[in-house]
Amino acid sequence: MLDISGVPLDPGCYLYRDANGEVIYVGKAKSLRKRVRSYFQGNITDPKTSLLVSEISSVDYYVTSTEVEALLLEYNLINKYKPRYNISLKESHRYAYIRISDEDFPRLLVARDKEAPGKYYGPFVNAEDRDNIIKALRKAFGIRTCKRMRRSPCLRYHIGLCSAPCIGNISKGEYNGRIRSIERFLDGRVGDLVRDLKDEMELMSSEKSYEKAMMLRDQIQALSSLLERQHVERDKSYDEDIINYIVDIDNVCLMVFNVERGTLGAKSEFSFPYIEGFLDEFIIQYYSENDVPKEIIIPHELSDDAIAPFLIEKRGRPVKLKVPKRGRKKDLLDLVRRNIEARFLEGKNMVSALREQLRLEKDPKVIECIDISHISGSYTVGSLVQFRDGKPDKSNYRRFKIRTVDGIDDFSAVAEVVRRRYKRLMSEGSRMPDLVVIDGGKGQLTAALGELRSLGLKVPVISLAKKNEEVYVPGLSKPLDIPRRSKAINLLVQLRDESHRFALEYNKLLRSKGMFKDV
């Protein structure tokens, strides 16, 4: 069973991946941890679900603000990854829009697509919620529903549901003012709108226009009880990135959400040492290698004035750098931050648990794991992956063509990788890792320890044997007694699996070329 203690209790979406890293199932949950735990409690009777559980190798997740957001995000992620264990979802009435028609006296309508002229809001993930919003807005603002405006009022006017523009009961200017209020509401500017309506209500009351004041009061009550704002999907015709971070002592944990045409496309995680002006440097490096969207939402202003022109030149079109203080874009920044806290705090908890189990003097914030891969002694390669604060730091991954070993000799191959890696770090004056993990048993551990000692290094080193996830440490003949479902073992298994994947990837590359080639 996976260690899911680090999965948060927040609402959101969870993604199950197989041993190859492929997303095989996407689900939503009011509480992520409770939902994920339910898959591993041994009471599953459905054969398909049992097969799914047998293939789960890791779990990823997105934290959302509400269950409604999770529902919409689930739909987006299923369309993105097309997991084989999910039902294939198609567009349906559930994901329709609200349209404000392009007429002198506009109407509020349900739209399945965006072909007709007008303004569109959504899509809405729940048909009942969408219909309730339309019904409440029509009632609160007296919006007409008739296709053709006759010269006599309809029943809706007589029961107080329509302002009856058909008989001139309301001017075009006042009616369209109500439409603008509805647009502000559907745009998510609910707080500003309600404040303005309250100010107007107080003014009407002070002027003893009690009928208008009561109408405004009813509008405020209707708006306040209506829409659960959706941060993840937004009706945009352009791409945007949302970037936020947290600083943890001397380390930066940063995340980028890519929103493509209003739909969450992907998220990327980064962890690196803190330096002054790191956000400026990150943006330059990131967008040197990635597409620049029309809009980039960031938590504060950049200090380098040359960055904006750089982004514009890279994109070939205008680029907006936004630092929102309120509204939906600020909510998006907060959502990214919650995901960072959930993701990186999980890694820190695993690192602390590993320190306790291994009785290390300090948290192993930087861990390197070494694995050897070959095909019957041919194409022998070594891989080294680095985790920082419990998360992969792919900029420090390394791979090695084994030069001094012929045939099957994993011990000597491990020794060569250890020697080459840490001799180079010494010559460069670079920081040593806080812990070295070797994929293997006592023999591989002994080989690695011997090389570290010959280099005069006192770096903590352990090994993890695949069969029963046994942890060996120098000086003990038997493995440590660490619970297999603990955070410590979970972190070591992630390291081992990632190093194995990276080594196998290099091995396949060399075999496809038919020759060794250093990278």
- Give residue 21's pLDDT: 85
pLDDT (mean) for 418-446: 95
Q: Which of 438, 425, 435 is nearest to 361 (CA)?
A: 435
State pLDDT tens for residues 86-100.
Answer: 765 444 444 578 899
| Of 280, 224, 233, 222, nearest in space to 257 by CA | 233
The per-residue pLDDT for range 322-355, each reduced to its tens digit, is 999 988 788 889 889 988 888 777 788 889 999 9
Strand partners, 263: 260
> All domains of the chain, ordered by start, with CATH?
12-89 (3.40.1440.10), 94-224 (no CATH), 240-353 (3.30.420.10), 364-513 (3.30.420.340)
Give the model's pLDDT for residue 277. 85
516 contacts 403 by C-beta, under 8 angstroms? no
Check whether 379 has a pLDDT greater than 90: no
* Residue 143, C-beta contacts closer than 8 angstroms, at least 6 positions apart: 106, 107, 108, 137, 162, 163, 178, 179, 182
Pairing of strands 391-392, 378-388: antiparallel
Provide the percentage of residues in the chain whose pLDDT is more than 70.
87
**Overall average pLDDT of the 192-221 stretch:** 77
Residue 127 has what pLDDT?
67
Most confident of 219-228, 340-349, 351-360: 351-360
Query: Residue type at 469?
Result: E
Is it the case that residue 111 has pLDDT exceeding 80? Answer: yes
- Segment 162-170 mean pLDDT: 88
Q: What is the pLDDT of residue 46?
A: 74
Q: How many CB atoms lie within 10 A of CB 445?
A: 24
**324: phi then psi, degrees, rounded to nearest 5:** -75, 145
Alpha-carbon torsion, ordered 489, 493, 495, 501, to 10 deg: 180
Alpha-carbon gap, residue 131 to 213, rounded angstroms = 27
Task: Please indicate, yes or no, whether the overall pTM of this predicted structure exceeds 0.85.
Answer: no
CA distances from residue 33 to 55, 155, 255, 264 in whole angstroms, order as listed: 19, 51, 21, 22
Compute the distance between CA of residue 492 and CA of residue 367 in angstroms, rounded to an integer: 10
pLDDT for residue 139: 79
Q: pLDDT category, 369, cuts 50, 70, 90?
A: very high
Q: Two tokens at 70?
A: 């999770």
**Residue that wins the pLDDT comparison between 41 and 63:** 63
Cα–Cα distance measured from residue 61 to residue 16, given in angstroms and rounded to the nearest whole number: 9
Q: How far is CA 315 from the centre of its chain?
A: 24
Q: Is 91 helix (H, G, I), strand (E, B) or coil?
A: coil
Separation between Cα atoms, residue 317 and residue 39, nearest integer Å: 48
Whose CA is closest to 69, among 223, 222, 263? 263
